[in-house]
């Protein structure tokens, strides 16, 4: 199934599941509030449903995100039930626990039995939906509508490879009815094959040496109104993801190693700006206390400003609370021999340039708080690879390390919460950054933000 079709199917399932969990919450309340059940089990009467109906504002948008984080929507339409039940069970457990935590935070009085019933009913309703989908897909009517007939076009080796890969997939929406070998069969025969087999489309896989034949097949299908799926693997890429777009009304293949533009990236952008704005307001008293402490304990400015490399290496001014003496940059060359980090990065555990208040600020990462201004200005994100000084980026010995610059830098990242004080090799730092880029999702950002809080309180701060 094409990614476009998978995305549409996933959105439909997400909306359906959100609705089913909303129904499950109401059913759980109705069962718990039933007078017969209360009398039978000798329970206390529950509060009116209107008192906590607003929880739907949390439940409905959170349900698809949690299920997606557990890989629930990754399974093909007709897969084993275990591939459905296990991620669904984990998702239901997380949703139930999250709902309980929300109720606890807002000091709501909700009977505990409602949460247990909610998780069980939600699990059963989604399982029932999946069984109905399975039955519908196996019906003869669905097979006629769902299954699509294709002709494979390419060289003998490419046709064999595509047949093998399609056979290994559990997705049964594609049926190969014939193939055309570009080296042995005249390409003009594609027209008669389209007529004879009444195909939905043609799957093309050919290297650049066969572009003339490929163009003929595309034009023939164009006249017939038949779809062509061109497998564009004639350029050998290692990590790039390919997407299709248009530029000046011309078809365009985009090779991208960073996360594609999506609703998740839009939410991340909004979350950065709104989150930074709220944190700046909430933490304003702490800002004042730190500013006064810095001013009283050491001469010099309150803030430290430095040129850092942002997205794609573009320099920007990063703000931190000053934790060192004023001439720290001039003394840096004298401490080069004490550097504990391999590569271009400079890190020293007991840096003599750090002030007394600076040690405390660094221990709890409080010196990083002014970077919320950078987030508000759009130069940084709440989560992303840590921005390095411009001069350190210029000393990269491996050009592959620059891929960490392909996304917006952040205040916290995987490196921050993965025992950064124990990381001595810059390559391990880069590996964690690239792991974040290659596996990015909104759920991963939320997970890193939540794991950052205990890391800060555990005082695993920067050196």
- What is the count of structural domains for the chain? 3
- Whether the CB-CB separation of 178 and 193 falls below 8 Å is answered with yes
Looking at the structure, tell me whether residues 393 and 284 fall in a common domain.
Answer: yes
pLDDT higher for 145 or 68? 68
* Percent of all residues in the chain with a pLDDT value above 70, rounded to a whole number: 89
- Whether the CB-CB separation of 407 and 424 falls below 8 Å is answered with no
Q: Give the pLDDT band (50/70/90) at residue 235.
A: low
Given a cut of 90, is residue 442 above it in pLDDT? no
How much is the pLDDT for 33? 82
Domain boundary among 140, 169, 198: 140
As a whole number of Å, the end-to-end CA separation of the chain is: 49
- For residue 412, give the nearest of 463, 358, 375 by alpha carbon: 375
Looking at the structure, tell me whether residues 117 and 20 fall in a common domain.
Answer: yes
Residue 452 maps to a domain: yes
Q: How far apart are CA 5 and CA 7, in angstroms?
A: 5
Residue 247 maps to a domain: no
Looking at the structure, tell me whether residues 186 and 134 fall in a common domain.
Answer: no
Residue 255 maps to a domain: no
Residue 396 maps to a domain: yes
Strands 381-383, 410-412: pairing is: parallel
Q: How far apart are CA 422 and CA 432, in angstroms?
A: 13
Looking at the structure, tell me whether residues 76 and 56 fall in a common domain.
Answer: yes
Given a cut of 60, is residue 1 above it in pLDDT? no
Q: Judging by beta carbons within 10 Å of its beta carbon (0-12, 13-18, 19+), is residue 44 exposed, middle or buried?
A: exposed
pLDDT in tens, 192-220: 888 888 888 888 887 666 778 888 888 88
313 in the Ramachandran plot: left (φ > 0), alpha (ψ -120 to 50) or beta? Answer: left
In sequence order, the 6+-apart residues with CB closer than 8 A to the CB of 122 are 20, 21, 24, 25, 92, 95
Domain residues for the domain of 170 are 147-234
Q: How far apart are CA 60 and CA 56, in angstroms?
A: 6
Residue 252 maps to a domain: no
Q: How far apart are CA 364 and CA 462, in angstroms?
A: 8
- Alpha-helical regions (H) of 283-326: 284-297
Q: How far apart are CA 438 and CA 22, in angstroms?
A: 33
The continuous run of DSSP H or E covering 229 comes out as: strand 227-230
Looking at the structure, tell me whether residues 98 and 196 fall in a common domain.
Answer: no
Given a cut of 60, is residue 84 above it in pLDDT? yes
Chain centroid to Cα 390, Å, comes to 28
Which structure tokens are listed for 144?
């006629």
Given a cut of 70, is residue 144 above it in pLDDT? no
Region 135-143 average pLDDT: 72
Q: How far apart are CA 408 and CA 360, in angstroms?
A: 28
Given a cut of 60, is residue 460 above it in pLDDT? no
Residue 244 maps to a domain: no
Q: Give the pLDDT band (50/70/90) at residue 328.
A: confident
- Alpha-helical regions (H) of 207-332: 211-224, 263-282, 284-297, 328-331
Looking at the structure, tell me whether residues 326 and 283 fall in a common domain.
Answer: yes
Given a cut of 90, is residue 453 above it in pLDDT? no
Cβ neighbours around 227 below 10 Å, total: 15
Looking at the structure, tell me whether residues 224 and 290 fall in a common domain.
Answer: no
Looking at the structure, tell me whether residues 136 and 179 fall in a common domain.
Answer: no
- Alpha-helical regions (H) of 139-189: 140-146, 156-168
- Whether the CB-CB separation of 197 and 169 falls below 8 Å is answered with no
How much is the pLDDT for 380? 94
Whole-angstrom Cα Rg for the chain: 29
Residue 258 maps to a domain: no
Domain boundary among 106, 123, 140: 140
Residue 410 maps to a domain: yes
Q: How far apart are CA 336 and CA 62, in angstroms?
A: 49
Q: Give the pLDDT band (50/70/90) at residue 423.
A: low
How much is the pLDDT for 318? 95
DSSP secondary structure, 94-132, as one string: HHHHHHHHHHHHTT----HHHHHHHHHHHHHHHHHHHHH
How much is the pLDDT for 252? 73
Domain boundary among 119, 140, 161: 140
Looking at the structure, tell me whether residues 26 and 172 fall in a common domain.
Answer: no
Where residue 211 sits, what CATH number does that domain have? 3.40.50.280
pLDDT higher for 321 or 58? 321
Looking at the structure, tell me whether residues 71 and 91 fall in a common domain.
Answer: yes
Looking at the structure, tell me whether residues 100 and 229 fall in a common domain.
Answer: no
- Whether the CB-CB separation of 216 and 240 falls below 8 Å is answered with no
pTM of the predicted structure, to 2 decimals? 0.64
Looking at the structure, tell me whether residues 104 and 156 fall in a common domain.
Answer: no
How much is the pLDDT for 188? 87
204-218, 278-292, 386-400: which has the minimum mean pLDDT? 204-218
């Amino acid at each position: 199934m094409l990614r476009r079709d998978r995305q549409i199917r996933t959105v439909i399932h997400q909306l359906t599941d959100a609705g089913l969990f909303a129904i499950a919450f109401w059913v759980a309340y109705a069962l718990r509030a039933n007078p017969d059940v209360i009398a039978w089990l000798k329970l206390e009467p529950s509060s009116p449903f209107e008192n906590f109906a607003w929880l739907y504002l949390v439940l409905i948008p959170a349900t698809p995100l949690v299920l997606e984080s557990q890989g629930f929507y990754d399974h093909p339409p007709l897969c084993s039930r275990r591939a459905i039940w296990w991620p669904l069970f984990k998702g239901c457990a997380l949703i139930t626990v999250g709902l309980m935590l929300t109720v606890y935070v807002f000091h709501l009085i909700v009977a505990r039995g409602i949460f247990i019933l909610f998780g069980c009913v939600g699990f059963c309703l989604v399982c029932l939906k999946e069984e109905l989908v399975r039955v519908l897909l196996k019906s003869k009517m669905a097979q006629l509508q769902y299954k699509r007939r294709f002709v494979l076009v390419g060289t003998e080796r490419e046709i064999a490879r595509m047949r093998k890969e399609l056979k290994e997939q559990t997705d049964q929406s594609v049926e190969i009815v014939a193939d055309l070998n570009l080296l042995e069969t005249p390409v003009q025969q594609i027209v008669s094959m389209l007529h004879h087999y009444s195909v939905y489309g043609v799957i093309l896989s050919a290297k650049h040496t066969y572009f003339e034949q490929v163009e003929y097949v595309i034009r023939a299908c164009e006249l017939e109104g038949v779809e062509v799926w061109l497998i564009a693997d004639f350029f050998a890429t290692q990590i790039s993801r390919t997407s299709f777009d248009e530029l000046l009304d011309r078809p365009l293949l985009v090779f991208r190693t960073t996360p594609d533009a999506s609703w998740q990236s839009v939410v991340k952008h909004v979350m950065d700006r709104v989150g930074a704005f709220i944190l700046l307001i909430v933490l304003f008293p702490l800002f004042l206390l730190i500013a006064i402490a810095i001013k009283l304990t050491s001469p010099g400015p309150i803030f430290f400003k430095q040129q850092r490399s942002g997205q794609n290496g573009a320099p920007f001014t990063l703000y931190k609370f000053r934790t060192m003496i004023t001439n720290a940059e001039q003394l840096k060359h004298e401490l080069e021999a004490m550097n504990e980090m391999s590569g271009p990065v400079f890190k020293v555990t007991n840096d003599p340039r750090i002030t007394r208040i600076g040690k405390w600020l660094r221990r709890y990462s409080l010196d990083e708080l002014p970077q919320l201004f950078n987030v508000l200005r759009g130069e940084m994100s709440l989560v992303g690879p840590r921005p390095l000084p411009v001069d350190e980026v210029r000393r990269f010995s491996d050009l592959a390390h620059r891929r960490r610059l392909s996304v917006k830098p952040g205040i916290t990242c995987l490196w921050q919460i993965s025992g950064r004080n124990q990381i001595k090799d810059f390559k391990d730092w880069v590996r964690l950054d690239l792991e974040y880029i290659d596996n990015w999702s909104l759920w991963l950002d939320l997970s890193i933000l939540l794991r950052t809080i205990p890391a800060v309180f555990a005082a695993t701060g920067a050196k």
